[in-house]
Structure 1
Amino acid sequence: MTRIALYDLDRTITRRPTYLPFLLHAAWRLDKKRLLFLPVLVIVSIGYVFGLVSRARLKEVNQHLLLGHAIPAARLVEIGESFADKTLHENIHAQAFATIAADKAEGRRLAMASASYSFYVVPLARRLGFDDVIATGSMRGEDGEILARIDGENCYSTGKLGLIRAWMEQQQIDPEQDDIRFYSDSESDMPVFEIAHEPVATNPTSKLRKIAEKAGWRVIAWG
């Protein structure tokens, strides 16, 4: 039997979200003038709130505005590494390090499942000792540059579950038989909680806390 410890990233392992901070970190290094588009991001976000723009499209538009349509892969890798260092030192719950280490000591395979982009989630997960990453992918241009377009599913809610199931199938992990412990802060991850043998509501929103307490799940708060 395979034993898995599956973690969400934003506001679960991290104290604050990482998506917009990454875009600002990257824009500052790629082209500072693109920060002038920040008011446009606010307008697009209002469109998302009113259901005019999907979450996936919101991410694509924001990336296009702040980073451009295409970024050389090597440059984005470099920026992803520097952002991972910054996040590791400034934005990780102290208790997360101990919990991750305890799961590894139990012999669990560590997997991070995040709606954030893989180009900065992968280096951060590596620094935290994770074995696998399931995250939102990006399309590539003809010359290998990373485009402001999502490749496949946005790793969020049911899309996250779909990507986790695809990863499990590839890794020959049986969600019915293998032991899955899942940590997340948000009710948006309910599709994943439903396949977990041990759901752990971690720094939960008030809505998730109510769900967890009613269901008898373990609740932990690291704030």
Structure 2
Amino acid sequence: MKLALFDLDHTLIPIDSDHAWGDFVTRIGWTDAAEFKRRNDAFYEQYKAGTLDIAEYIRFTTGPIRRHGPGASAEAQARFMREVIAPAIRPQARALVEAHRKAGDALVIVTATNEFVTRPIAHSFGIDELIAVDLARGPGGWITGEIAGVPSFREGKVTRVAQWLAARGLSFGEVDITFYSDSRNDLPLLEKSQNPVATNPDATLRAIAIQRGWRILELFPQEENA
């Protein structure tokens, strides 16, 4: 099997969807604007630095939807897709995905952003297979703020891809993986891939890619990618 894995934020889209969701729920009045922005920005800096506590962040970022419930959250999710995500999807990103689809590769988005934010984005690219941070559900079926299973973050991405392969009777040694990512946080999975592609890479990943001779793809050359 040939497998094309795509990180999402700053890889397939030139924004961080998790951070953008936080800004969005603040804009629609679901949070205390100053305090939420302060904490959201701080978590984002921790992510970029590779020091993020993913469990703490998930509890924080799911707070607004947990408080507002499924109905209002679904409406906000659809509006977020229309107003924030759809304008951020670039033709060159769609073309990259379609080239792998045309080649017959299996397509999977592998992201450290939670499933609530990313499932509609994956669907917008026509990708059904999503490995994201799965959210635990309570007795009523709604999000609790905790993580279900292994979070798809840093080394957890390797674990989750291994689980995805095992469910299909496969292992890393039986697939040819091309993995696109912008982030130093994804080094564990990049190193497991036969074809690692540093895509709009951060400074640390760019230096590593140059040193190791990995392909560097500037998918959004005119846009800022952190």
TM range (shorter): 0.7 to 0.9
Report SS of the residue matched to 1:20: helix
Change (3 A) 1:44 1:187: closer
Q: CA RMSD in A?
A: 2.8
Q: Once the two structures are aligned, what percentage of the paired residues are identical? A: 26
Contact 1:6-1:181 at 8 Å conserved across structures: yes
TM-score, normalization: structure 1? 0.85
Of 193, 211, 214, the residue aligned with 1:214 is: 211
Q: Which residue of 1 aligns with 2:39?
A: 41
How many aligned residue pairs are there?
Answer: 219
One-letter code aligned to 1:9: L
Query: 2:99 & 2:168 partners in 1: Cα distance?
Result: 23
**1:82 matched to 2:56:** no
Partner of 2:188: 191
Shift of 1:39: 5.5
* TM-score of the pair, normalised by structure 2: 0.84
8 Å CA contact 2:17, 2:117 repeated in 1: no
Aligned counterpart, 2:98:
101
Contact 2:18 2:117 in 1 (8 A): no
Letter in 2 for 1:16: I
1:32 counterpart (30, 33, 39):
30
Q: Residue 115 of structure 1 aligns with which residue?
A: 112
Once the two structures are TM-superposed, the CA of residue 199 in structure 1 deviates from its matched residue by: 0.8
From 134, 137, 153, the counterpart of 1:156: 153
Q: Which runs of 5 or more residues in structure 2 are unaligned?
A: 221-226
Deviates more, 1:42-51 or 1:11-20: 42-51
Tell me, yes or no, if the aligned pair for 2:66 and 2:142 is still in contact at 8 Å. Answer: no
Q: Which residue of 1 aligns with 2:89?
A: 92
Q: Which sections of structure 1, spanning at least 5 residues, go unmatched? A: none
Conservation of the 8 A alpha-carbon contact between 2:182 and 2:199: yes
Q: Contact (CA 8 Å) 2:6, 2:109: kept in 1 or not?
A: yes
Instruction: Give the conservation status (yes or no) of the 8 Å contact 2:22–2:40.
Output: no
- 1:12 is matched with 11
Task: Give the whole-Å Cα distance in 1 for the aligned partners of 2:50 and 2:218.
Answer: 31
1:70–1:146 CA contact under 8 A, matched in 2: no
Q: Judge which range, 121-130 or 20-29, deviates more.
A: 20-29
